[in-house]
Amino acid sequence: MSTATLTKPESGQRPGPRTTSAPSAEGRIGLRGNLRHIGALARRNALQIKQDPESMFDVLLMPIVFTLLFTFVFGGAVEGNGNQSAYVNYLVPGLMAMMGMNVSMAVGSGVNEDFQKGVMDRFRTMPIARSSVLVAKIVVEIGRMLVAFSILLIVGWIMGLQITTSPLEVLAAVGLSILFGASLMWIFILIGLTVKTAQAVQGMAMLVLMPLQFGSSIMAKPDTMPGWLQTFTDYNPISNLADAVRGLFRGGPVAHDVWMVLAWSAAITLVTAPVAIRRFRNKT
């Protein structure tokens, strides 16, 4: 962004504009200004959803479709015929991890589309922190994630989900899922800033999602998996998240899984967020 100032006229010359480069917005905007910018940009993104309500179809329908599909397709095979309700108690915590991943993928496509439309170029000429543009995207996607979790728990309860712990532990499970999902958003933002089209974002994201989702304890216990796949499952953060949510819903030891999810979330964010912000700043 540039600002125009008038140069002092010399003899025989007219005053003319002189452009000077504005200082970097990142370095001179304080915390309060950052929060204000994030709020304004988040409101802009939310208004886009209001104008295009079809963009909410995934978070409204995905929890319903996945819960019904996996329960009636895999429930009998995993828990025995007629024991689908028991499988719901195993499945729904895993689907919370899965929902978070799928919703997170959308932010990468959104960032890519905004660049294709020239919206991001306009933001980069404004005196705002570069990170606020991306953080505002994450804030709105967290809101969409909360909608998906709410519908998932309601559908699960209708199908027999039983939560035997306190509301505080349920909130902790939701918060843990949101924290991990938000950390994954930085990965998908980086993908969105790297590849050329939104379709390519989705293709790259599926390459990340599929091994993590199906090589985990989301839908089935890893006891019957080959040894090498069990090892992958043990270190898969999606398995840690699913097991942590199960413990917070039904009781049992959760400390190890919770700490693993927190460690993964912090590591992913610390590594990918600075790279994504730098990529956003320098992208042409």
Average pLDDT on 72-82 reads 70
pLDDT digits (tens, 9 = 90+) for 109-120: 888 887 887 777
Only one residue has tokens 């413990």, namely: 247
Q: Give the span between the Cα atoms of 153 and 177, in whole angstroms.
A: 13
Crossing angle of the two packed helices 227-235 and 237-250, in degrees rounded to 10: 70
Q: Give the span between the Cα atoms of 18 and 78, in whole angstroms.
A: 73
User: Which pLDDT score, from 0 to 100, does residue 284 have?
Assistant: 62
Virtual CA dihedral for 170, 175, 176, 177, nearest 10 degrees? 90
| Neighbouring residues of 260: CB distance < 8 A, sequence distance ≥ 6 | 237, 240, 244
Tokens of 228: 């090498």
Instruction: Report which listed range, 169-173, 205-209, 277-281, is most confident.
Output: 169-173
18 SS3 class: strand
User: Which pLDDT score, from 0 to 100, does residue 28 have?
Assistant: 64
The range of the structural domain enclosing residue 178 comes to 29-282
pLDDT bin (cut points 50, 70, 90) of residue 24 is very low
Average pLDDT on 183-187 reads 93
Residue 4 inside a domain? The answer is no
218 SS3 class: coil
Average pLDDT on 262-278 reads 94
| pLDDT of 246 higher than 80 | yes
Mean model confidence pLDDT for the chain: 82
User: Which pLDDT score, from 0 to 100, does residue 79 have?
Assistant: 63
Confirm whether pTM is higher than 0.85: no
Residue 245 inside a domain? The answer is yes
Residue 16 inside a domain? The answer is no
Residue 273 inside a domain? The answer is yes
Residue 23 inside a domain? The answer is no
Residue 113 inside a domain? The answer is yes
Q: Which of 14-23, 68-77, 228-237, 256-265 has the lowest mean pLDDT?
A: 14-23
Q: Which of 128-137, 143-152, 235-244 has the lowest mean pLDDT?
A: 128-137
| Neighbouring residues of 50: CB distance < 8 A, sequence distance ≥ 6 | none
Residue 2 inside a domain? The answer is no
User: Which pLDDT score, from 0 to 100, does residue 125 have?
Assistant: 73
pLDDT digits (tens, 9 = 90+) for 60-75: 999 999 999 888 887 7
Residue 212 inside a domain? The answer is yes
User: Considering the chain, what percentage of its residues have pLDDT values greater than 70?
Assistant: 86
Other Cβ atoms closer than 10 A to 120: 19
pLDDT bin (cut points 50, 70, 90) of residue 186 is very high
Tally of domains in the chain: 1
User: Which pLDDT score, from 0 to 100, does residue 170 have?
Assistant: 94
